[in-house]
Structure 1
Amino acid sequence: MQSTLAFIHWNVNPEIFHIGSLSVRWYGLLFASGFLIGYNIVEKMFKFEKSNEKWLESLFIYMLVATVIGARLGHVFFYGWDYYSQHPAEIIKVWHGGLASHGGALGIFIALFFWSRKVSKRSVLWVLDRVVVPTALVASMIRLGNLMNSEIYGVATNLPWGFIFEHNGETVAKHPTQIYESLSYLFTFGLLIYIFFKTNLRKNEGFIVGLFFVLVFCSRFLIEFIKEDQEAFEAGMALNMGQILSIPFIIGGLYLIFRAIKKPEVNYPAAKN
């Protein structure tokens, strides 16, 4: 990476190193690191409110599987069905890239619905209020992974922090929208973790997950205006696919916030480990 007075020339190799056919990439490292950090955060949250720490292992597995499958299928069906319908074997090749946050969010919700019924026996909103806190941090790290891959960036800009993504053959500075999104998600993480540990709003089921949806998908919706289209079919659309898919999450988030404020606090007894 070289900097000039005007722009930043970005030419980072997305691969850290490889051994034979095994390749270790920045994206995968950041993704995996986010999950490990997230596990530790949820563990501290469980200890803080005396929840059953034996639930953590199964929760981690449900989350990991749901995120990967949901995000991958979200990309396949929302962004690349024309290609994947003709090349179905490519669907399982997650390491080639192609994950959609909307699909990941939907996958997590479905998985945690079943986890709540089978494991915790508590409301699905209870566990969602907890897992979305580290999820915001994981999302921030994933966007940094997109930056290292020189992908999902913005339209041309004359701003001094514009990035020339030379790895992709770009010669014009573009908005580093990966950084914009990463910072917005990091802010969301900081606010949510403060609310959980420093206020009683964690007892208003649905408030934290509702706020997560509003903050994450509102920032996503707005940043999409300066982001290049991810797929050819988005050309000419008033709102691109990312914005269209964000609207239901924003509406749902507002509903959950107002619902949580109106309902009384929920106090669960300390769990026996």
Structure 2
Amino acid sequence: MNYFVWDINPVLVSFGPFHIHWYGLLFAAAILSGLEFMKRVYRLEGKDESSLDALFIYAIIGIVIGARLGHCIFYDPDYYLAHPMKIFAVWEGGLASHGGGLGVLIALYLGCKKYKINFIWLIDRLVIPTALFGFFVRMGNFMNSEILGKPTDVPWAIIFARVDSLPRHPAQLYEGFSYLIIFFILTYIYKKQYKTLKPGFLFGLFLVLIFTVRFLVEFVKVRQADFSLGIDLSMGQVLSIPFLILGFGLIIWSRKK
């Protein structure tokens, strides 16, 4: 069978020693689109935009620090304990979405306390562009030929020529387009019900949808952890379970409000 061969250079353009990577471009697009979405939310609901830029800086710092520490702690702790300075080498790759999720929640909680903003109100709206953020990031992973799927013979398998010659599940595309669909679902619900939304409902629904996708896609994804947990579940699946429980809990709590 003739499989699609993916052999794109991760570097979009170079200027001497300076390089612009597809991943960096898509990451920047994710940040800018999220900021623009939240500005529209603030205008729609008549909120003061003066604190939004500062809160977004909190969010980006929380995502980057949390995602990096999550990767170091959850996926390769032995290596980073032996080479602690490598924790700061973000340019070498290694970001964990679960750690990024925890990081952004902690950072925004602190930001909301400083600027006296209702934390649940903000998170209920911020999760919508966060789903779009996930789409852009997975497209960046696809351009980098990373976060690979397991070898397979399904007709839509892709050969990542920069890695090997094996046809694999395009796990990045499974996740990326699922996140894009979730973005449209959350956007639709928000536009229809933003005046009557129960606190915590969109946040809970986001967690359930996103981490259900993550849990399922892990079955066809190459395991990222360099050690075995001694169970059939991957580290990504184990880390998804608390977020799923929290999501269902928030939905139930919001319906009782």
User: Shorter-chain TM-score category?
Assistant: over 0.9
> Is it true that 1:22 corresponds to 2:18 in the alignment?
yes
* Contact map agreement 1:129 1:202 (CA 8 A) in 2: no
Partner residue of 2:126 out of 125, 131, 154:
131
Greater shift in the superposed pair: 211-220 or 78-87: 78-87
Q: 1:209 to 1:155 in 2, by over 3 A?
A: same
* Contact map agreement 2:75 2:226 (CA 8 A) in 1: no
State the 1:73 CA deviation.
0.6
SS at match of 1:17: strand
State the 1:232 CA deviation.
2.7
Question: Which residue identity does 1:126 align to in structure 2?
Answer: W
Partner of 1:183: 177
Over the aligned positions, Cα root-mean-square deviation in angstroms equals: 1.4
TM-score normalised by L of structure 1: 0.91
State the 1:18 CA deviation.
2.3
SS at match of 2:94: coil
> Is it true that 1:53 corresponds to 2:49 in the alignment?
yes
Partner of 1:113: 109
Identical-residue share of aligned pairs (%): 47
Greater shift in the superposed pair: 22-31 or 201-210: 201-210
Partner residue of 1:164 out of 141, 151, 159:
159
Cα distance in structure 1, aligned partners of 2:195 and 2:247: 15
TM-score normalised by L of structure 2: 0.96
Partner of 2:188: 194
* Contact map agreement 1:69 1:104 (CA 8 A) in 2: yes
Cα distance in structure 2, aligned partners of 1:235 and 1:205: 36
Cα distance in structure 2, aligned partners of 1:23 and 1:81: 30
Q: 1:78 to 1:235 in 2, by over 3 A?
A: closer
Partner residue of 1:153 out of 124, 128, 148:
148
> 1:1-39 CA distances to partner (integer Å, 9 max, x unpaired)?
xxxx63111111111122233221111110111000110
Structure 2 residue runs without a partner (length 5+): none
Partner of 1:254: 248
SS at match of 2:173: helix
State the 1:202 CA deviation.
6.1
Structure 1 residue runs without a partner (length 5+): 264-273
Cα distance in structure 1, aligned partners of 2:217 and 2:13: 32
Q: 1:84 to 1:201 in 2, by over 3 A?
A: farther
* Contact map agreement 2:70 2:95 (CA 8 A) in 1: yes
